[in-house]
């Protein structure tokens, strides 16, 4: 189980390096700015995307853990 979590953490750290998170309007704007600012803009978009996804993950994990505890206690 510990190895699975390590793989998930490594994948989460590597994924933003190769992801493209720009809509068509942002892509057009970034292409007019040049290569350096375009990469910075993409990194900013990925950075802003992390907080909501982390929040969803924490809520989902806590929900799953609570349901598991209730099932183990025989309440469900």
- Structure-derived torsion over alpha carbons of residues 14, 15, 16, 19, reported in degrees to the nearest 10: 140
Q: Is 37 in contact with 43 (CB distance < 8 Å)?
A: no
Q: Which comes out higher in pLDDT, residue 18 or 62?
A: 62
Asked if residue 15 has pLDDT above 80, the reply is no
Q: Which comes out higher in pLDDT, residue 72 or 17?
A: 72
Structure tokens at 46: 């990925």
Could you tell me which of 44, 48, 42 has the C-alpha nearest to residue 27?
42
For residue 8, the Cα-to-chain-centroid distance in whole angstroms is 11
Question: Is residue 60 in some structural domain?
Answer: yes
Cα separations in angstroms, 56 against 5, 52, 53, 66, 75 = 17, 6, 5, 15, 25
In the chain, the number of structural domains is 1
- The per-residue pLDDT for range 41-59, each reduced to its tens digit, is 878 888 888 889 999 999 9
Question: Is residue 30 in some structural domain?
Answer: no
Domain of residue 66 covers: 49-76
């Amino acid at each position: 189980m510990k190895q699975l979590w390590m793989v998930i953490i490594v994948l989460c750290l590597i994924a933003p390096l190769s992801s493209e998170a720009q809509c068509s309007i942002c892509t057009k704007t970034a292409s007019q700015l040049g290569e350096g600012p375009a990469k910075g803009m993409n990194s900013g978009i990925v950075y802003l995307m992390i907080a909501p996804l982390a929040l969803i993950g924490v809520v989902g994990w806590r929900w799953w853990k609570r349901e598991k505890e209730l099932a183990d206690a025989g309440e469900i």
